[in-house]
């Protein structure tokens, strides 16, 4: 997120708003249709992961915070289909949208709760209930108890959580009571005989002296490990005790410990989004890819994730130097660093610690996340850093490669949108043309198209197929006044380019055109003698090869499906009494020739309305087509 804490000052590095696409003007300048199209494009780029989304108005103020199990689906729902008046009113006020990735839907819920309480968004006011999520409390008594609570009392008790629902916390408490039972009575008084819970194995009976305090506190320690997410250590402890019990022939106890160990291994640790460590701390993660580096800072304050800042910057130096420069710039007198800053890798700390002390007057520890809870938060920050760089690459595309391509081919404009064509056929049958679209060097799959070639009538003519596909595509785009490509790429050489050029001239479209032949990856341009050969390691050639290969994959896929469909129908229709209509019924009922071969004759006869004798012939033909063994009918 660009900045969740509004008062935070941005460092002077290139910023990458989390999920934000720069607006094409203000709301007043942008039509509702264009605005919706912009947000639909944003929603398509959102990850299919749980997380929290933040909506801002034209002033930059946060007006709504929401959570989603799948961010892409939830954001898409705001800008597609009919909406009620409340949703339409909210959406009409939104100018930008950002998101934070979460490790789970549960963590998304907690982050959402924290951000709503922190920023009090206008459109969340009537939606939140203001209640605090329940936590698990371990009391500070001589013989501690463990139970659910919504109140945090400063009496030395320990708290773990919070948990998003009472149902979830009850499941965890039931596991604790089963594996490590503690006393249940609110006030413990000495007794001669223990209570009923002792006799059913749900209380160790400290009131009757059935367990020493040392053993009792050992159970409390195991519960602490469980709730702290230190499940590996706890499982190892249980395994050791299980083996000791087995060696001492205490098989019933060993079995109980074995079951406990298995249950612990399946236990989900507590949330990374909130804990009850009140110390202020930041988690710094980064991700490098080529000439770019992304940074994400998670800020934990009072045990809660209060904000996430993200930035993408050109990488002009090595990684350690870039990290040092970022930290020195990110923290300032207006945004002081917390006492502890955790980073993915160990940093060269002496210089930075000295800088923070001398320039900002604060003492900072630069730490590695060794404990499980810190490692979990760091992993979440690292996931967000990777997503930031993926998103920025998607927004920018491969601009250097496109600039090189424009120069090498002498194009009239930067080839931001490239459309590629390929032809696939088999002896003149099932001829199809594929059209793929790339934007900023990245596949734009919503604009992929197929063309079943109709004009060839069984003849083999790649040039004719290219002419038909190009004519159909761009006649339609011109009539609809739709966006046209900057470059058209055909799979082939001078002949294919000439065929496409002829059609473009006939329909009056002036567009850059090129052909890429597979042999030596040679490029052919209209009106130019001889091919253009780019270096094999050229980024520009890499983009064109990616387009060409994608058109081939796309065309071959449809052609194969059509051939398989033809094979199915021709195999069945060769049986007397089975025409096109009955072939369709059989394929619809059994899915394929293989399905027909595996079916019994009675089912075949019923599905197609044929006799048992004809059904037997159909089955034999299907078996013969797929080479099945003739088993019992």
Average pLDDT, the chain: 79
pLDDT for 359 equals 83
Residue 128, pLDDT > 50, answer no
Phi/psi region, residue 102 (left: phi>0; alpha: psi -120 to 50; beta: rest), is beta
Angstrom distance (rounded) from CA 139 to CA 150: 14
pLDDT class for 29, splitting at 50, 70, 90?
Answer: low
Angstrom distance (rounded) from CA 374 to CA 343: 10
Task: Tell me the fold of 574-626.
Answer: DNA polymerase; domain 1 (1.10.150)
Q: Span 301-305, mean pLDDT?
A: 68
Angstrom distance (rounded) from CA 510 to CA 474: 11
Give 432-447 pLDDT, tens digit per residue: 889 999 988 888 888 9
**Burial of 361 by CB count in 10 Å (0-12 exposed, 13-18 middle, 19+ buried)?**
exposed
Angstrom distance (rounded) from CA 400 to CA 314: 13
Backbone φ and ψ for 490, nearest 5 degrees, come out as -110, 150
pLDDT class for 342, splitting at 50, 70, 90?
Answer: very high
Locate the DSSP E strands across 444-598: 449-452, 487-491, 512-517, 522-524
Residue 88, pLDDT > 90, answer no
Angstrom distance (rounded) from CA 37 to CA 106: 31
Angstrom distance (rounded) from CA 55 to CA 20: 10
pLDDT for 410 equals 92
Query: In which residue ranges of the chain is CATH 3.40.1440.10 found?
Result: 32-124
For 266, residues 6+ apart whose C-beta sits below 8 A from its C-beta are none
CATH number of this structure's domain 402-557: 3.30.420.340
Q: Which of 122-131, 208-217, 489-498 has the lowest mean pLDDT?
A: 122-131
394: its two tokens: 């998607």
| SS3 state at 155 | coil
548: its two tokens: 């060409």
First to last CA, the chain: 64
**Burial of 577 by CB count in 10 Å (0-12 exposed, 13-18 middle, 19+ buried)?**
middle
Give pTM, 2 decimals.
0.41
Which secondary structure element, helix H or strand E, spans residue 261, and what is its range?
helix 251-265
Q: Span 85-111, mean pLDDT?
A: 81
Centroid of chain to Cα 357 = 40
CATH number of this structure's domain 32-124: 3.40.1440.10
Half-sphere exposure of 251 (CA within 13 A, CB side): 1
Q: Span 556-567, mean pLDDT?
A: 58
Query: In which residue ranges of the chain is CATH 1.10.150 found?
Result: 574-626
Total number of residues shown for the chain: 633
Give 587-615 pLDDT, tens digit per residue: 777 766 667 777 788 888 888 888 888 88
pLDDT class for 161, splitting at 50, 70, 90?
Answer: low
Paired strand residues for 436 = 420
| SS3 state at 52 | strand
pLDDT class for 260, splitting at 50, 70, 90?
Answer: confident
pLDDT for 503 equals 95
pLDDT for 139 equals 93
More confident residue, 64 or 129: 64
Cβ atoms of 438 and 453 within 8 Å: the answer is no
Q: Omega of the bond prior to 162 within 30 degrees of 0, cis?
A: yes
pLDDT class for 212, splitting at 50, 70, 90?
Answer: very high
Angstrom distance (rounded) from CA 379 to CA 201: 39
């Amino acid at each position: 997120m660009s900045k969740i804490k509004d008062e935070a000052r941005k460092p002077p590095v290139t910023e990458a708003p989390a999920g934000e696409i720069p607006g094409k003007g203000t709301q007043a300048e942008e039509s509702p249709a264009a605005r919706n199209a912009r947000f639909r494009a944003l929603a398509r780029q959102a990850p299919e992961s749980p997380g929290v989304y933040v909506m801002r108005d034209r002033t930059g103020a946060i007006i709504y915070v929401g959570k989603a199990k799948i961010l892409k689906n939830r954001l898409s729902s705001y800008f597609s289909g009919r909406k009620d008046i409340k949703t339409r009113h909210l959406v009409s006020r939104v100018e930008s949208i950002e998101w934070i990735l979460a490790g789970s839907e549960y963590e998304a819920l907690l982050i959402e709760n924290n951000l709503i309480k922190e920023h009090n968004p206008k459109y969340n006011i009537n939606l939140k209930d203001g209640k605090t999520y329940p936590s698990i409390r371990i009391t500070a008594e001589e013989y501690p108890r463990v139970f659910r609570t919504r109140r945090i009392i400063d009496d030395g008790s320990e708290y773990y959580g919070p948990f998003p629902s009472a149902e979830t916390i009850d499941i965890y408490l039931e596991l604790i009571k089963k594996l490590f039972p503690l006393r249940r009575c609110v006030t413990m008084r000495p007794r001669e005989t223990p209570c009923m819970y002792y006799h059913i194995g749900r209380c160790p009976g400290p009131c009757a002296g059935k367990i020493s305090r040392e053993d009792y506190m050992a159970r409390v320690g195991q519960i602490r490990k469980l709730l702290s997410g230190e499940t590996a250590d706890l499982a190892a402890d249980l395994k050791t005790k299980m083996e000791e019990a087995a060696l001492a022939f205490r098989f019933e106890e060993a079995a109980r410990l074995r079951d406990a160990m298995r249950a612990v291994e399946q236990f989900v640790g507590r949330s990374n989004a909130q804990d009850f460590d009140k110390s202020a701390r930041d988690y710094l993660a980064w991700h490098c890819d080529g000439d770019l580096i992304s940074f994400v800072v998670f800020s934990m304050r009072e045990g809660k994730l209060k904000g996430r800042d993200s930035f993408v910057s050109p990488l002009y130096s090595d990684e350690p130097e870039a990290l040092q420069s970022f930290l020195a710039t990110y923290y300032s007198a207006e945004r002081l660093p917390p006492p502890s800053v955790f980073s993915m890798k160990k940093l060269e700390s002496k210089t930075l610690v000295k800088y923070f002390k001398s320039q900002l007057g604060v003492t900072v520890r630069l730490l590695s996340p060794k404990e499980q809870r810190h490692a979990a938060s760091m992993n979440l920050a690292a996931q967000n850093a990777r997503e930031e760089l993926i998103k920025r690459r998607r927004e920018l595309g491969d601009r250097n490669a496109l600039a090189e391509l424009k120069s090498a081919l002498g194009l009239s404009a930067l080839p931001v949108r490239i459309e590629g064509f390929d032809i696939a056929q088999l002896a003149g049958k099932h001829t199809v043309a594929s059209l793929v679209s790339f934007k900023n060097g990245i596949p734009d799959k919503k604009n992929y198209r197929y063309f079943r070639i109709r004009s060839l009538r069984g003849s083999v003519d790649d040039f004719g197929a290219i002419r038909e596909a190009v004519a159909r595509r761009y006649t339609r785009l011109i009539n609809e006044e739709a966006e046209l490509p900057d470059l058209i790429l055909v799979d082939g050489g001078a002949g294919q380019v000439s065929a496409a050029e002829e059609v473009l001239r006939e329909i009056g479209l002036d567009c850059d055109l090129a052909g890429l032949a597979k042999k030596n990856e040679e490029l052919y341009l209209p009106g130019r003698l001889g091919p253009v050969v780019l270096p094999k390691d050229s980024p520009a050639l890499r983009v064109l090869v990616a387009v060409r290969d994608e058109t081939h994959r796309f065309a071959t896929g449809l052609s194969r499906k059509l051939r398989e469909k033809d094979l199915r129908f021709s195999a069945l229709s060769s049986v007397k009494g089975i025409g096109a209509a009955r072939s369709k019924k059989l394929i619809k009922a059994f899915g394929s020739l293989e399905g027909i071969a595996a079916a019994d004759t009675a089912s075949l006869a019923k599905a197609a309305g044929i006799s048992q004798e004809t059904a037997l012939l159909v089955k034999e033909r299907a078996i013969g087509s797929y080479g099945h063994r003739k088993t019992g009918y």
